[in-house]
Amino acid sequence: MPSVLTVVTETTRSVIDLFEVSLDIDAHVGSMRQSKERAVDGVRSGQIGLGQTVTWRARHFGVWFTMTSKITELERPARFVDQQVVGPFKSFRHEHVFEEVDGLARMTDTITLASPVFGRVVELLVLVPYLRKLIQQRNQHLLGLLESTPW
């Protein structure tokens, strides 16, 4: 059974701004400097769209990983889904939902993943906490971009 984690992020900026920055490859790369993540194939800069792929190369846990993700669903500006098509996970699906709640733009990230080794124990003890922190850091970086630049 796969593991699921959810991260909720809110901002005073508009839903459309939050949606657009979340699809931006350059913004994502900037948020992942600690892992030296970069886009090495597919859409490597600017916005990614429905049906397009990006291949990421990054260092996590001291090991270099390569993962290709595809935007499999996109409903502007309410939702999009990226899924691993090639990579280190048995399965990896990341749903981003955008809505206005009490005058704030809310982004809810829901990641469903399955580990290729050691199963649920590794997912719950290592991968879920690590990915939760990674997504929180990414989202704080995106909020910083929104606050410092007109998007």
Domain count, the chain: 1
Residue 151 has pLDDT above 70, yes or no: no
Torsions phi, psi for 11 (to 5 deg): -150, 160
Residue 46 has pLDDT above 70, yes or no: yes
Q: Answer whether 0.75 is exceeded by the pTM.
A: yes
Q: Which domain holds residue 100?
A: 3-148
103: helix, strand or coil: coil
What are the structure tokens assigned to 98, written together?
């955008």
Kindly report, residue by residue over 2-39, the tens digit of the pLDDT: 999 999 999 999 999 999 999 999 999 999 999 999 99
User: What angle is formed at CA 137 by the lines to CA 136 and CA 141, rounded to 5 degrees?
Assistant: 115
How many CB atoms are closer than 10 A to CB 78?
Answer: 13
Kindly report, residue by residue over 85-134, the tens digit of the pLDDT: 999 999 999 999 999 999 999 999 999 999 988 778 889 999 999 999 99
User: Which residues have C-beta within 8 Å of that of residue 47, sequence separation ≥ 6?
Assistant: 20, 23, 24, 25
User: How much is the average pLDDT of 48-61?
Assistant: 97
Q: Kindly give the residue spans of alpha helices, DSSP state H, lying in the chain.
A: 15-22, 25-31, 119-122, 128-148
Q: What is the CATH number of the domain that holds 36?
A: 3.30.530.20
